Copies of this chain bind each other. A is one copy, B any other.
Amino acid sequence: MVIFIKDVLLNGEKTSILIENESITGIGKNLSMPVSGTYPDSDNDTKIIDGNGLAVFPTFANMHTHAAMTLFRGYGDDHPLQEWLNQWIWPAERNLDDDIVYWGTRLACLEMIKSGTTLFNDMYFFPEAAMRAVHDSGIRAMIGFTGFDFFNPESADKLKKDISDWYDNYSKSEFQNSKLMIPVVAPHAPYTVSGDTLLWLADFAAERGMHYHIHMSETAGEVTNSIEQYGIRPYIRLEKLGVLDRCGDRFIGAHSLHLDDDEIKILGQHRAAVVHNPNSNLKLGSGYKFMFNELRDAGVNVTLGTDGCSSSNNLDMLEASKTMALLQKGWRGDPTAMPASEAIQVASANGFKAAGLNAGKISVGTKADLLLVNLDNIGFVPNNDTLSNFIYAAHSESIDTVVCNGRIVMSNHHVNDERTIKDEARRVVQKLLCK
C-alpha cells in the first residue's frame, strides 16, 4: 500500500509525507504526489489524504495491558482490592473461554485504535485467541503467555510445559510470520512465581530472543514482603537470580513504582524497560511518586501503559500521557517537570524501542505508525502549540486517522467492524459475568 499525506502539519510546519509498504519513505514540502503507474502493484491501493486541517503525530505504544479485561470495565469499581479480586474478578474469570477472550481483545483493539495506539504489550489468558483478535484488528501486539506457580513444584512443571507447548504451537501457526505479532514470556510477578521458575523462564526467553514482561513493585507491600521473605527488595532479588542479566533490554517491568536508588541503578545498567501506569496506580491507591527523572537519568527505558480496564477503566494512552505529565509536575512541585515533548516520547518512541521496533517518530525510514488529528477539534482551538494541545487539551475524539505498519486502520474516526465488535462484546460479557 502507498499513502500520500499532502500538506499536513508536522512540528508546526506544513509538509507532505509518503508511506510505501510499511515505512515512511519521504517527508518534504515539495514531495510529489504518486502518479498512476508509479506503483503498478499498488495502483488500486494508493491513498491520497488531504492533510489540510490535520496534524501528524506518532501513534502510542501501550506497554502494559490485560486487553480482554476491557469486558470488566466498571465491574466492581470503588471496592477494596482484595474484596474486588475475591468477590468480583476471580469468580468471573473462571468463565473465560476463547470466544470471550477473542471478543474482549477485539474490543480492546478497537478502543486502542480509536485513541491512537498501534502497539500494545499484553498479559492475559488464552493467548491464541488474543493473537487471532490482534491479527483481525490490524495493529501490533506483544502477546504474553502469563502464569503463576505459587511456589508449588507441580504447578511450576505445568507452567513450563504449557509455555513450551504454546511456543511450539505458535511457531507452527499462521501468526509465526506475522510482522505485527511478538510472542512474549510473561510471568505474573515475583510474589506469585518461584525464583527457580522466574529464572527458567528467563532462560527460555533468552534462548528465543523473546521479551520478558512481569509485574514489579506495584505496591509498597510487595517490597516489604520481599524484604521480610528474602532480605532484599524485588529488583535486587531479580538481579541476584540472574533474570535481569538474561533479559537485558528485553526486560519489561510493569509498574516499577516503589524503587530505591540501587534498584534504579541496576535497571539502568541492564538497559531494562519499565512501564508507568499512572491512572491504574492512582485508582488502586498503589502510589504516585513514579521516579521518572531518576529512571531516565539512569538510562532506563521508561514507557507508558494503561493497565487493564478493570483497574484503570479505559485504554486511552492520550489520557494516560496527560495524567503522567501532570502527576510528575504535581508530586515534584515543578511545573517544568516532564514537558509535553517528553510525555509523547515516553508514550510512543520509548515503547516501540522496548519492543525492538523503529517507530514512534515521524521520520524517513521509520515504520509508518502514525495518526492524524483534526485541528478543528475544540482542543486545538486556538492552536498556539499543536503538541501542547494534543497532550494537555485534546481528547481521542480529535484523532481522525490511524496508520499501523503502513496500513490505514481508522479513517474519519471510524473503524471497520466497529458495530460488530461492540455487539459481540456485549454478547460475551453476559457469559463472563453470569454468576
Chain A contact residues, CB within 8 Å of chain B: 71-75, 77-81, 84, 107, 110-111, 114, 279, 281-288, 309, 312-314, 316, 319, 323, 326-327, 329-337, 339-340, 376, 378-379, 381-386, 388-389, 392-397, 422, 425-426, 429, 433
Inter-chain contact B339/A382, CB cutoff 8 Å = no
How far is B90's CA from A77's CA once the two chains are assembled, in angstroms?
A: 44
Indicate if the CB atoms of A314 and B393 lie closer than 8 Å. yes
CA distance A283 to B425 in the complex (A): 37
Task: Name the contact of A388 in the complex, choosing from B285, B313, B323, B422 (C-beta under 8 A).
Answer: B313
Per assembly, the copies of the chain total 2
The 3 closest A-B pairs by CB, nearest first: A282-B330, A74-B388, A74-B385
B393 touches A285 (CB 8 A): no
Contact present for A335 and B284 (CB under 8 Å): yes
A337 in contact with B114 (CB, 8 Å): no
Contacting residue for A287 out of B74, B75, B282, B330, CB 8 A: B330
Query: Which B residues are CB-close (under 8 A) to A107?
Result: 378, 381
Of B75, B312, B384, which contacts A74 at CB under 8 A? B384
Q: Is the interface of A mostly helix, strand, loop or mixed?
A: helix
Instruction: Decide if B388 touches A426 in the complex (CB within 8 Å).
Output: no
CB-contact partner of A329 in B282, B314, B334, under 8 A: B282
User: Which of B73, B285, B382 touches A330 (beta carbons < 8 Å)?
Assistant: B285
Distance to closest chain B CB from A386 (angstroms)? 8
Given A378-B110, A381-B426, A422-B376: A77 in contact with B288 (beta carbons within 8 A): no
Taking A74-B385, A77-B392, A382-B429 as given, write out 17 further A-B residue pairs in contact, using a Cβ cutoff of 8 Å, ordered by the A residue number.
Answer: A73-B382, A73-B389, A74-B383, A74-B384, A74-B392, A74-B393, A75-B385, A81-B335, A282-B329, A285-B330, A285-B334, A285-B335, A314-B379, A323-B323, A381-B426, A384-B433, A395-B397
Of B279, B392, B396, B433, the contact of A313 (CB 8 Å cutoff): B392
How far apart are the CA atoms of A287 and B426 in the complex, in Å?
Answer: 41
Given A110-B378, A395-B396; A339-B78 close (CB under 8 Å): yes
Q: In chain B, what residue has the closest Cβ to A79?
A: B336
Tell me the complex Cα distance, A70–B337, Å.
23
A319 / chain B contacts, CB cutoff of 8 Å: 319, 395
User: A285 CA to B73 CA in the complex, in Å?
Assistant: 31
**B332 and A75 form a contact (CB under 8 A):** no
**Residue pair B110, A340 in contact (C-beta under 8 Å):** no
B-side contacts of A329, CB under 8 Å:
282-285
Partner of A114, one of B71, B378, B394: B378
Min CB distance A224 to B, Å, is 14
Nearest CB in chain B: distance from A392 CB, A: 4
CB neighbours of A429 from chain B (8 A): 382, 384
CB distance from A230 to the nearest CB of B (A): 24
In the complex the two chains form, is A77's CB within 8 Å of B339's CB? yes
Shortest distance from the beta carbon of A232 to any chain B beta carbon, whole Å: 24
Chain B positions within 8 Å of A288 at CB level: 288, 330-331
Evaluate contact between A282 and B326: CB separation under 8 angstroms.
yes
Q: In angstroms, how far is the closest chain B Cβ from the Cβ of A113?
A: 10
